[in-house]
Structure 1
Amino acid sequence: MADPASTLAPENVGKSPSYLGLKGQPLLYAVTFCCSTGFLLFGYDLGFMGGLTTNEKFLNDFGNPQSTFLGFLVSSYEVGATFGALFQYWMADYLGGRKPANMIGLSIVIIGAVIQTSSFSRAQFIVGRIVAGFGLGIVTTVIPIWLAECTVPKSRGRMMAMQLSNLIIGLIISNWLVYGMSFHEGSIQWRFPVGFQIILALSVFGFLPFLPESPRYLASVGKNEAANHALAALRGGWPDDEHIQFEIKEIEYAISVESEEVGGWSDVFRDNGISGFTRVAIAFSANFFQQMSGVNVMSSLGPYVFENSIGMSAHNAMLVSGGLQVYYFLSSLIPWWAVDRVGRRKLFMIGSGGMGACMMFSAIFVGVNKKGTGYAAAAVLYIFQTFFTMGWQSNMWVYPSELLPLKLRLRGGALSVVSQWLFTFTVVMITPVMITNIGYKSYIVFMVFNFATIPVIYFCYPETSQRPLEVVDLLFADRENGRRPSLWEVVKDSTSKEFVANIEEQLKEGARFRYENGDVIAEAKEQVHHLEKNNAV
């Protein structure tokens, strides 16, 4: 049998299907660009309210809210996003794929942005924030999964890192747009930055219909011909090429292994099959630890922190916060190189250790409260962003999509994003109150969470970097005599090159069997279906 990973035969060159005239790596870059623009919207929505928390016109128009209500005004977006992710959890089977779900979410973001932009009362603005957040909760659930299911293992992390760099570009745009508009008169100061969400959402919405659906999703719902077509375009081949057919058979083999996980809404709470609940719990915890690192203190409330915790003027707080986002973007280029070379586990632990140390030094400098220490605290918060981007930015967003089984990937991903938004809301809501009431001790809280994360990762987080998604499924599958491996056993095996090589060979053998006996398998399925139909009668 020929090597299924062999290059495309010369006679097939030029015949393979394409989208927008693109195929292979250029098409993967197009999918990444679309996903990246969606995350640019995500970053923009996280960031623009941070600037408005120190905008006098905005605060006057909404009755100069106190810190508690101001925190809710910002974090109401996260409330909506939490419910949007829950909606995706309940309705995943009815939205018809990754692309339609994204388009529904973007439409809701646009509606929410219109409501916010036209607001003349606190209630209307909060409703708009919740509606837009609901839409973004759907989008942020689906985009990482769509990208992970389209890319190849060796570049999956890098593609996600590119996407997350665009999130930071969204933060940069939001900070400097709010700063620039602050020199204008009237409510246009805040209405234009709020309305800018619509432009970003429309740009993603217009691009989506012309790109391929996830081939793994199509295979999971029995649309094998469409899956072949999409995969051939993404790999730059032809649907009948041997290496395309072989990859499809690998996907089908993994689906058959996880067949006990039927994919219903309640199955994410069961551990039958291939440890579905355990994997959902790990994905949920990854989102929790990312938010409790304190990153959104700076992303959503940067100007507020620099003004009220460190003691800068409102003008300087905006400038330093804007500079922080530029530095944040430059730091985000590090994972482009590191994320697929160093591995998920090491980067998680390096990031948490560095962020914990930065929060410790911030507490010291803010607590001392002498001339110059405030600026030292600001410098440390800059360094914090480097450790975050290296350890938890793109690394965290790709991890649940790699870890979760196919039939539970969207529902489990939705629950993990619920964690993301629930704890983003918690952090953004309590930070103004914490800074007002306990000052420098706020940083100690985040320091403790960062240091506590490290042993959890070491003992409970399997390595998924550069593994085919189907290999990750087989790591959790029952071992000899039907024995279920412990989580620590899975973690150790995931870091063993020899064990992973054996798993990869098992996957190839299973796929090779399906490739060589496809007609027999199809006939057997047809016979089972016929018998079930007769028994039902």
Structure 2
Amino acid sequence: MARFIVIAVALVAAMGGFIYGFDSGIVATTLGHDSFKLYFYGSAMSNTALSGAIVSVYNAGQACGGLTSGFVADKFSRRYAMSVMAFITIVGATLQTAAVHVAMMILGRFIAGVACGSLLSLVPIYLAETALPNNRGFMVGLHGMMIAVGFGTANWVGYAGSHAVGDVQWRVPLAMQLPIPLLMMAGCVFIPFSPRWLVQQDRVEEAKDVLVRLHGQEELASHELAQIRSQLNLENNVGSASWSYALRQMFSKQYVRRTVTAAFIVIMGQLSGSSVIQNFQGIFYATVGFTGQTSLLVSGIYGMMGIIGQIFYLVVVADRWPRVRTLWTGSVVLSVMISICMALSAQFGSADSGNPAGARGAIAMIFLYSASYAIFFNAMIWVVPSELFPFFLRSKGLAFAVFCKATVGIVLSQITPIALENVGWRYYSLFIATNMTAAIIYFFFLPETSGKSLEEIAELFGDVVAPASDEKLGAGTEGLHVERLSHDNKKSEV
């Protein structure tokens, strides 16, 4: 019963992943509709600057949303923050659907980006804080799964829109961004607060009730609650610290390694090449002769490959493969996939190459790349960063990582159309280099976090960790005290 409840709660929260996946994916098919290009670009039906702006402003919104989500999550709770951000995506989607000029479309994409940037950090944190150590990879992996499902759904919705006539081709697909946020807002009424957030608010009995409901055993809940309270006490109860204080701490000697590691892992979601292929796949397909409805159909198949890969992750990889091994081997696999795709594109990467089989081979490698990314990274880039920080920095640290990801995304979305136009298949070499560099860094510098509680992971980075206790706690907030000397010792070690 407890297992069912945990999964049900996780699926409600993971709708935030679907929202991000759908909102990110729908722009690729939208930009591919001739009716959209005619409406916003005029008779030329092409405007590289505006296409880049529509994509990059979404990343700019993510950067803003990422910076604010940490404060909102700590002050108002992860649960309320997720609900509010779901509502904001509705506002953004409404503006996009009703857009009568490009400025309205860009504003709608920006607002949706703000909400999705927040959800990218809020959902993994909430899932990590409500899961047991031995299934945290699976639970946070549901976030990645829903991103893949959202993206795949967006591709097929866009393809379906291509069979309509006129503005309906892109307005109805954009309107399909509305139902899931509404459903998520309703679901957030029924899910519990994060037990760690409740403890930080001195709502200890509520936290214990939540842990009993989620994990099904009162003894286990008492044990976990004792460790949570002990660790929060060691952290000097600064969970509601201001952004200025959090930034100083994130880049202090004690926490800077965790901050840089989390930001690097999330940034690699962009520098792996996935976002470039996702947002500009229509350009890739056009270079090998696939245009119009055929291009949109290929996009739909591409999205399905991500879902297949994500299912493989949940069934085979999650909480079974070590985190470090998953990341470094995945980086090597992606580098190999892109290398093969680059070679095929160089040889057959044009509609008049005289070898359609070679062109289809390049597309097949993009499909395999999509499945491989889902297996190794789609979930893992959120699992590991959500584990690295102590409570008082967790939401703000992951928010900073999302900000860095979005900033890199802005740069890539601006330079990619230009790069593809000027250097073509050679642009792939950038992502070959970044993936191989990431593999080396993961192998030599990333500590293994699988199977440990969020409190125990701090010990990997040299923090003083509160000992677990089997003591049953009373109703009051004074049930367990940790000597302040332990906290002082921690400070002196920095």
Q: How high is the TM-score relative to the length of structure 2?
A: 0.90
Q: Which amino acid aligns with 2:16?
A: G
Q: What's the CA shift for 1:68?
A: 2.8
Q: Which amino acid aligns with 1:285?
A: F
Which residue number corresponds to residue 48 of structure 1?
Answer: 26
1:464 to 449, 461, 464: 449
Q: Which amino acid aligns with 2:228?
A: I
Q: What's the CA shift for 1:429?
A: 2.8
Q: Which has the larger radius of gyration?
A: 1
Q: Is 2:410 the partner of 1:433?
A: no
Which residue number corresponds to residue 56 of structure 2?
Answer: 75
Q: State the distance in 1 between where 2:173 and 2:409 align.
A: 21
Secondary structure, counterpart of 1:62 in structure 2: helix
Q: Kindly tell me: are residues 347 and 426 of structure 1, through their superposed partners in 2, closer, same or farther at Cα, counting changes over 3 Å?
A: same
Alignment of 1:429-508 (within 5 A): 429-478=414-463, 507-508=467-468
Q: What's the CA shift for 1:185?
A: 1.5
Which residue number corresponds to residue 169 of structure 1?
Answer: 149
Identity of aligned residues (%): 25
Q: Which amino acid aligns with 2:319?
A: D
1:225 to 205, 224, 246: 205
Alignment of 1:371-382 (within 5 A): 371=355, 372-382=357-367
Q: Kindly tell me: are residues 212 and 516 of structure 1, through their superposed partners in 2, closer, same or farther at Cα, counting changes over 3 Å?
A: closer
Q: Is 2:245 the partner of 1:245?
A: no
RMSD, aligned α-carbons: 2.6
**Do 1:339 and 1:347's aligned partners in 2 also have CA atoms closer than 8 Å?**
no
Q: Kindly tell me: are residues 223 and 168 of structure 1, through their superposed partners in 2, closer, same or farther at Cα, counting changes over 3 Å?
A: same
Q: What's the CA shift for 1:436?
A: 0.7
Q: Kindly tell me: are residues 418 and 341 of structure 1, through their superposed partners in 2, closer, same or farther at Cα, counting changes over 3 Å?
A: same
Which residue number corresponds to residue 85 of structure 1?
Answer: 66
Secondary structure, counterpart of 1:270 in structure 2: helix
Q: What's the CA shift for 1:242?
A: 3.1
Q: Is 2:167 the partner of 1:187?
A: yes
* Runs of 4+ deviating beyond 3 Å: 89-94, 260-264, 271-274, 514-525
**Do 2:205 and 2:475's aligned partners in 1 also have CA atoms closer than 8 Å?**
no
1:418 to 380, 403, 407: 403
Q: Kindly tell me: are residues 110 and 267 of structure 1, through their superposed partners in 2, closer, same or farther at Cα, counting changes over 3 Å?
A: same
Q: Is 2:301 the partner of 1:323?
A: yes
Q: State the distance in 1 between where 2:424 and 2:477 align.
A: 69
Q: State the distance in 2 between where 1:48 and 1:60 align.
A: 18
Which residue number corresponds to residue 208 of structure 1?
Answer: 188
Which deviates more from structure 2 when the two are superposed, residues 261-270 or residues 376-385?
261-270
**Do 1:401 and 1:409's aligned partners in 2 also have CA atoms closer than 8 Å?**
yes
Q: What's the CA shift for 1:325?
A: 1.1
Q: State the distance in 2 between where 1:139 and 1:115 align.
A: 19
Which residue number corresponds to residue 30 of structure 1?
Answer: 8
Q: Kindly tell me: are residues 362 and 25 of structure 1, through their superposed partners in 2, closer, same or farther at Cα, counting changes over 3 Å?
A: same
Which residue number corresponds to residue 289 of structure 2?
Answer: 311
Q: Which amino acid aligns with 2:51?
A: L
Q: State the distance in 2 between where 1:254 and 1:350 align.
A: 33
**Do 1:269 and 1:277's aligned partners in 2 also have CA atoms closer than 8 Å?**
no
Which residue number corresponds to residue 485 of structure 1?
Answer: none
Q: Which amino acid aligns with 2:121?
A: T
Secondary structure, counterpart of 1:333 in structure 2: helix
Alignment of 1:54-69 (within 5 A): 54-63=32-41, 64-69=45-50
**Do 2:233 and 2:481's aligned partners in 1 also have CA atoms closer than 8 Å?**
no
Q: What's the CA shift for 1:186?
A: 2.0
Query: Which runs of 5 or more structure 2 residues have no equivalent in the other structure?
Result: 483-494
**Do 1:52 and 1:178's aligned partners in 2 also have CA atoms closer than 8 Å?**
yes
Q: Is 2:285 the partner of 1:300?
A: no
Greater relative contact order, per chain length (Cα 8 Å cut-off, separation 6+)? 2
Q: Deviations along 1:414-458, whole A, 9 cap, x unmatched?
A: 101112222233323322221111101111111111011112112
Q: Kindly tell me: are residues 269 and 72 of structure 1, through their superposed partners in 2, closer, same or farther at Cα, counting changes over 3 Å?
A: same
Q: Which amino acid aligns with 2:18?
A: L
Secondary structure, counterpart of 1:440 in structure 2: helix
Q: What's the CA shift for 1:276?
A: 2.5
**Do 1:215 and 1:227's aligned partners in 2 also have CA atoms closer than 8 Å?**
yes
1:137 to 117, 125, 145: 117
Q: Is 2:363 the partner of 1:383?
A: no
Q: What's the CA shift for 1:260?
A: 8.3
Q: Which amino acid aligns with 1:361?
A: I
Q: What's the CA shift for 1:305?
A: 1.9
Q: Deviations along 1:356-376, whole A, 9 cap, x unmatched?
A: 111111211111234232222
Q: State the distance in 2 between where 1:120 and 1:182 align.
A: 20
Q: Kindly tell me: are residues 200 and 416 of structure 1, through their superposed partners in 2, closer, same or farther at Cα, counting changes over 3 Å?
A: same
Q: State the distance in 2 between where 1:153 and 1:523 align.
A: 22
Query: Which runs of 5 or more structure 1 residues have no equivalent in the other structure?
Result: 1-22, 480-502, 526-537
Q: Kindly tell me: are residues 523 and 189 of structure 1, through their superposed partners in 2, closer, same or farther at Cα, counting changes over 3 Å?
A: closer
Which residue number corresponds to residue 259 of structure 1?
Answer: 236
Q: Which amino acid aligns with 2:422?
A: N
Which residue number corresponds to residue 281 of structure 1?
Answer: 260
Q: State the distance in 2 between where 1:271 and 1:160 align.
A: 23
Q: State the distance in 2 between where 1:374 and 1:277 align.
A: 45
Q: How high is the TM-score relative to the length of structure 1?
A: 0.83
Q: What's the CA shift for 1:464?
A: 1.0
Secondary structure, counterpart of 1:186 in structure 2: coil
Q: Deviations along 1:25-84, whole A, 9 cap, x unmatched?
A: 111011121123221111111111101122000011102342232122122111111111
- Residue-pair matches, total: 473
Q: State the distance in 2 between where 1:187 and 1:517 align.
A: 62
Q: Kindly tell me: are residues 143 and 260 of structure 1, through their superposed partners in 2, closer, same or farther at Cα, counting changes over 3 Å?
A: closer
Which residue number corresponds to residue 488 of structure 2?
Answer: none
Secondary structure, counterpart of 2:254 in structure 1: helix
Which residue number corresponds to residue 154 of structure 1?
Answer: 134
Q: Is 2:352 the partner of 1:367?
A: no
